[in-house]
Amino acid sequence: MFRGLVVLFLVLVFAAFIVSIGHFLFCVLEERVNRSFNILLTDSHVVGFMYVGDGGSLWSIARQHYSGHDSREVVHAIRVVNGMRDTSVVRVGDKILLPDMSLF
């Protein structure tokens, strides 16, 4: 009985270790891919830029500069080109790169 519990404990510790390593590698690779993708996009696929004004948000930028496009897709593209993780992190005066929507 005791031996079975020890074996079960070791299996669970090993499984947790493998999951932790997998998660770490996923995060590292995801960040590396995101950086590469952002560099490729920002170097040659930007159609312009703007500075965030009073009350500005990514949603208002999408509606103002990309009428006729799905605002959700535009906000995603703006986030990718600008290397943003959270849509609520724009402040007055922030420079926002405007992506070429033909890429998305």
Tens-digit pLDDT string for the chain (104 aa): 778 888 899 999 999 888 888 877 776 666 655 555 554 554 567 888 899 998 888 999 999 999 889 999 999 888 888 888 766 678 899 999 899 888 76
Q: How far apart are CA 104 and CA 13, in angstroms?
A: 43
CATH number of the CATH domain containing 85:
3.10.350.10
Tell me if 5 sits within 8 A of 44, measured CB to CB. Answer: no
Query: What is residue 41's predicted lDDT score, i.e. its pLDDT?
Result: 52
What's the CA gap between 32 and 67, in Å, rounded?
32
pLDDT tens profile 56-69: 889 999 999 998 89
Provide the domain limits for residue 21.
2-103
- Per the structure, how many domains does the chain have? 1
Assess contact for 65 and 50: CB atoms under 8 A. Answer: yes
Check if the beta carbon of residue 81 is closer than 8 Å to that of residue 99: yes
